[in-house]
Structure 1
Amino acid sequence: MKRTNQWVEPAIATCAVVLLLALSYQILAPFIAALAWAGILVYASWKPYEKLSKLMRGNRLLPALLLLGIFALVIVLPLVIAGIELSANIDGISHWLQVHIEAGLPPLPHWLMTAPGVGPKIAEFWSGLSQGDPEVINRLKDWMKPLGGMLLLFGKAIGSGLMLMLMSLAFAFFFYVGGHEIVRWFIRVLNRIGGKRAEELLMIAAGTVRGVVYGFIGTALVQGALAWFGYWLVGVENAAAFGLVSCFLSLIPGGPSLLGLPVAFWLYQQGDTGWAVFLGIWMVAVVSMADNVVKPLFIGKESNLPFVLILVGVLGGALAWGVLGVFLGPTLLAVSYALLHNWAARQIEEDDAEQVAAPKAPESTS
């Protein structure tokens, strides 16, 4: 009977703990993304928060409210404006495109019409549009019917992103105020799970997240500057304003192209075909692709992870989990790489120790 109790009671306790953890996860699941973003925002701005707290004689509430206000202006306000503008212009955008197509289009450049393979097909389709061919116009209208639905889905995505950011800012307030206690509790839990090695892995993960944050900021500045140069070179008015908008759009993969390609199309309509082609190529091939180079370089300064793994982590994480995956991808790879590296190094040390401790064979005497 005693032997039965020795394994029954621990089994029941283990099942109870697993059930408790599963229920806790089910409760927290809807808020995991918001909690993760709150943690990233607080960690990235912790040093400014500490400096502001010292300037305000140890006050922890006012610096938190000040930083959250800045985040709201930089992140939330653009989403609100974009959502309002999009919802007000969905029908207008679709109607403008249809009217513009029916009114006729400017001629295509000669080099595009004579392009090998696709040139004749593009020229035929464009000619049908310009001449008002009912079959071609009806075909294009059918392609454009989903446009309103796509814009509506985009508006819903902006709305969900807005709610996510608002929840993240609310959680970030409590992370600021109780930051020291949260970190101490988290380190104690990690030490209980994995010993001192767990704290070392936490530092590796923290450095990688810091590198990703610096990568986001650095990429935004670089892409904004490159976009400004492109707009200035082609003669677009208010090039600095377009560069600033591109800086914010860089938070979205390929975001600067969402602004650059319509501007290139506008240049084409004005008759500046060469500059239109240049701007389109510049925004897609140079500005948007800079994200894949600049961000891994910044992450590499804060992490010992090889460049190729950083690049894979950023791209793979983004494909798997969206923007949040840009943080999770390289962080998980950095921790995994550190575990494998430490395991391999420990194995080498053990092998060397065994060779040193092994008794030498006695030399034979002739």
Structure 2
Amino acid sequence: MERAEDKFFVALVVIVTVALGLIMRPFFGAVLWAIVAALLFEPLMARMARKMGGRRRLAATLTLLLILLAVVVPALLLGLAMVREVVAIYGRIESGKIDISRIFEQVQAALPHWATGLLERYGLSDMDALRHQLTTGIAGSFQTLASRAFDISQSAFGFILALGVMLYLSFFLLRDGQALAVRLEESIPLRPSLRRPLLEKIATVIRATIKGSLVVAILQGVIGGIVFWILGVGGALLWGIAMGFFSLVPAIGTGLIWVPVAIYLLISGAIWKGIILIICGLFVIGMVDNVVRPILVGRDTQMPDYVVFISTLGGIDLFGFNGFVVGPVIAALFMAIWDIFSKERKRRDAGEELEPADMKSG
């Protein structure tokens, strides 16, 4: 009878947990980023609390204000600037100041014979149809972005609500984070020798992933935008933000932006500008990713670059923007759990080997 009651209780725990997850699903992003903010700023908040005589509530309030001023407000201003840039570029496309068809004709005329033959080999010899598809696709993309910019007021309430939930939850996670971590550790049905390494691994991976990804994104976006502005490329702010966003995807990242622009500059006759952009892309923008990301991400997570790369892409595919945190965290959990399992199995096997020997000697 007791075993039946235990099974019912376990089933009840699972059902209630799943129900709570479904209720919180609309605010998954807000909860995730609240946890991320608390993990990133908890060391700073702890230092402030010690200097204030242990007043964690005041320290959490000041830390939350710092998050607002240093992270939220700049991100909002940057988003508004990007919206204006997208709308302006779409207006120039509509007015004909940016003629995508003419740009394609210039690229087509400058293609060498081997490139033309390669296109024909892959069935892309119908340049008129290809030009029409490319022109329609680019114009449609900017039209979609512009329409989203105009419709942003309709989703403003949902965004403000999610932002409010994130900040509200961040405050309590900062103030009560240590006590919550202890309760969480005690609630996990694992031995203490397994619980703490697992939780420490999760916290380390989240901190390292966010620090590495955001630092790399900011550096590459700023450098790329400045290079584009110096070279006189239109929409430098938009392309800088785009490079910062694509840098979240390891390995390929910013090349999706600056490589096509460099090719266009070379083909259109701006040889020196194209060469300068290629040099900056390879040895400045690219080196930021190759040097900074392994230091901030790979060193702390102890995950190979290819695991970070694949888990990031898979996470973004499943969870959208939130996936660049969720993907590496799940991958790190997988590696940590199997590492703990392997060590426990070796320890158990070693104990089983020693037991017969001890019995024989006794």
**Scaled by the length of structure 1, what TM-score is found?**
0.70
CA shift for structure 1 position 48:
1.2
Asked if residue 55 in structure 1 is aligned to residue 51 in structure 2, the reply is: yes
Q: Distance in 1 between matches of 2:334 and 2:133?
A: 52
CA shift for structure 1 position 41:
1.0
Aligned pair partner of 1:36 in 17, 32, 37 = 32
Q: Distance in 2 between matches of 1:146 and 1:231?
A: 21
Note the alpha carbon deviations across 1:174-215, whole angstroms, 9 max, x for none: 21122222122212212x444431122111222222221331
Larger RCO (alpha carbons 8 Å, 6+ apart) = 2
Residues 351-360 or 115-124, more deviating: 115-124
What is residue 168 of structure 1 aligned with on the other side?
Answer: 166
| Cα distance change on mapping 1:8 and 1:302 into 2, 3 Å | closer
Aligned pair partner of 1:26 in 22, 25, 37 = 22
What is residue 203 of structure 1 aligned with on the other side?
Answer: 200
What is residue 275 of structure 1 aligned with on the other side?
Answer: 273
Give 1:1-366 correspondences, 5 Å limit.
5-6=1-2, 9-85=5-81, 92-98=88-94, 99-101=96-98, 105=102, 108=106, 112-118=110-116, 142-143=136-137, 144-145=139-140, 147-153=142-148, 164-190=162-188, 192-220=189-217, 222-223=219-220, 227=224, 230=227, 253=249, 272-276=270-274, 278-279=276-277, 282-283=280-281, 287=285, 291=289, 294-358=292-356
RMSD: 4.8
Unaligned runs of 5+ in 1: 129-134, 361-366
**Scaled by the length of structure 2, what TM-score is found?**
0.71
- Give percent identity, aligned residues only: 19
| Cα distance change on mapping 1:218 and 1:358 into 2, 3 Å | same
Q: Distance in 1 between matches of 2:9 and 2:68?
A: 45
Q: Is the 8 A contact 1:230 1:279 kept in 2?
A: yes
One-letter code aligned to 2:310: V
**Max Rg structure:** 1
Q: How many residue pairs were aligned? A: 345
| Cα distance change on mapping 1:346 and 1:274 into 2, 3 Å | same
| Cα distance change on mapping 1:225 and 1:87 into 2, 3 Å | closer
One-letter code aligned to 1:208: V
Unaligned runs of 5+ in 2: none
| Cα distance change on mapping 1:206 and 1:223 into 2, 3 Å | same
One-letter code aligned to 2:165: M
